[in-house]
A and B are shown apart, each in its own frame.
Chain A
Amino acid sequence: MQELAAAGALLAAELLVFYILGTGLPYHREDGLRSVSENVLAGFFLYTGVFEGVAVVCTWLGTTLTTLCRVWAVILSVMTAASLVTRLGAWTGYVRWFRKHHRRHAAEPLLVLVALSYAFYSVCAGFTAEDSGATVSTMTTDMLNDTMSTVDPATGEKLAMMSPSVLLNRWPAGLSFLCRVSWLKPLTVTHFVTEALVVILSVMVLWRLFFHLFDGRKTKAFAAVLIAVAAEIFSRTVYTPSGLLEGCGWSGEAVFANIVVPAVLLLVLMMYEHDGKALFAHLFLAGIVAVGTCKWGILLYAVLLIAVMIPEMIAGRRGVHFLRMLACLVVPALGMTLCYFLPGIPCA
């Protein structure tokens, strides 16, 4: 029970940190306000994207997991403090907005209920899943040996070479960081905290996607979220992202399929509406997250971005807009170059 309470507290703390970090990112709206879900999603991409950069450098240099945790704790504290100080207005602005709007529509509280129910369902389904192998074994091995992917979880032997895709995939290191700071077991952090977090974030990104798709009509957006969640729960297929969400929602692949892919579609939609250059920072961060969460993400993010760029090209939107989208492909392109042309990196 104590562990469950600590896991719930860690989940709430993560969402709060994401919200604070999200307020620190540039705004795309003229009124300077962003909804809670937008802030949390932006914060998630900022957190995961910056962690990916720090963790790749630390892994490349051959530092220990403890060193990475200390470095990341300092960076995260600085980022959170900076967001709090520079964007204090967002908090008071949100309180004003909430007082003004909360009575108008029941969609938001119902949405929270749907997200929490879906998270509870997925945690229950996830506890029965047998597929916790890769992520959890990497975490436990790294924590036991105080290493970062330099020990083979299957044999317990130190590796001489590391695959570039392993170097780039730092998602398990992020989960190990959570274990270190919370003293929770890897199984609790993956099967409970991260599973619930990924489900909640996936509902948030769906909500924002439908909100923008249906021109801000909350009833339509809420009905669409309900149907999408029902389709995900009852489809249970590996060729839709929901199979990952319920079977192993803590894995990087689940994050890519359920958060990054809809988020890219959402950002494209928002760019269509606003043409705000701040959105490209989010798209760029989404690319880094895609590279860091799973090795398929490197290729699939690039494919998806090209697939959404082509219609815009045909529609005549080129120039700076097009160049910015191309810039978002830089990180995945570097990742692909490393993965396909570098046979391995000697472990330091």
Chain B
Amino acid sequence: MDIYNAVETGMSFLKKTVLTYQGASWMLYAAACALALVMIFGGRKGRLVFLYPAIILALTMLNPYIYPELFRVQGGMEGDYYRVLWLVPAGALTAAGAVFLIFRFKSGFVKCILTAAVIAFLAITGEPELTKVLPTGLPQNVYASDETLVRICDYLDRHSPEDTKAVAFENEDYASSVRDYDASILPSDLLHDGTATKNAEAFEKAAARDDTDYFVVKKGSDLESIIGQAGAISVVTIDDQDIYENPVNFSK
């Protein structure tokens, strides 16, 4: 999912926010209608709580012209425009507007029917959270980790004598995402240290000083030959990744 940036997209930002986050986008229209109802039937209290703050926010923080200018200075909040929408509680506002309208009728029967009709309308046109996931199953690999990385982690968990293992990955994506899948692996930077990976001799010295237990390199890469010459022990190949043990660490 892209995060839209208020500074870059300007006026179309609000529309893109709504489209991107999808859900039942009619809530915004329902809230707008409810605001009109509160304005007409809400009385002083209704206007004080729902209408005036909404108007002030619409003119300031929620204004697509002003919001980018406000946060161009602060930075780091451009993609979080939707959070300001929490300040106008759309569900409560819709309910207040609906009740102000429904209870204009005298008959209790009509009030009940109309309340039920509004709830039924919301239920039919809406999209509840649970419908996304039924029938429910156990989540598997929910963070969509790379399958090769998953197999590497499983192999190391089964074969390593240590509870936590320091592992140097040549692939930077593996290094950054490995702990999403396996918290017992501590990523090491050794393979991205330009001095250490200059040649086999430098690597041997660096590996002797380092606590890294395993090296994971791409099969046939330059790093593999340096690691091999430095005395690392090849243990297994998983897909296109070779796993090596740090001999110094294991001989301690």
Contacts and interface: CB of A to CB of B under 8 A. Distances in A.
Interface of A: 121, 124-125, 128, 130, 154-157, 206, 209-210, 212-215, 220, 223-243, 246-247, 253, 256-257, 261-262, 265, 268-269, 272, 296, 300, 303-304, 306-308, 310-312, 340
B21 A239 contact: yes
Given A212-B45, A306-B56, 12 more contacts: A210-B95, A210-B96, A215-B45, A224-B95, A226-B95, A228-B92, A234-B127, A239-B21, A239-B82, A256-B86, A268-B48, A308-B53
Question: B45, B47, B86, B126 — which one has the most chain A CB atoms within 10 A of its CB?
Answer: B86
Contacts of A235: 23-24, 27, 90-91, 122, 126-127
B73 to A, nearest CB: 10
A300 B84 contact: yes
A128 B164 CA distance: 29
A117 to B, nearest CB: 13
A303 B23 contact: no
Contacts of B92: 206, 209-210, 224, 228, 262
Given A231-B122, A236-B129, A261 B48 contact: no
Given A128-B136, A303-B61, A230 B123 contact: yes
B49 A265 contact: yes
A246 B129 contact: yes
B197 interface: no
A236 B123 contact: no
Interface stretch (B4-12, B111-119, B211-219, B235-243): B111-119
Interface residues of B, number: 65
A241 B24 contact: no
A311 B52 contact: yes
B113 to A, nearest CB: 12
Nearest to A231: B91
Contact of B89 (A130, A230, A261, A311): A261
B186 interface: yes
List 7 tightest A-B contacts by C-beta distance, closest first: A234-B126, A237-B23, A228-B95, A311-B52, A227-B95, A307-B53, A231-B91
Contact of A155 (B44, B102, B125, B186): B186
A304 B84 CA distance: 9
A325 B124 CA distance: 42
Interface string B50-62: 1011001100110
A233 B128 contact: yes
B96 A224 contact: yes
Given A206-B92, A240-B85, A246-B129, A213 B45 contact: yes
Interface string B39-77: 000001111111011001100110000000000001000
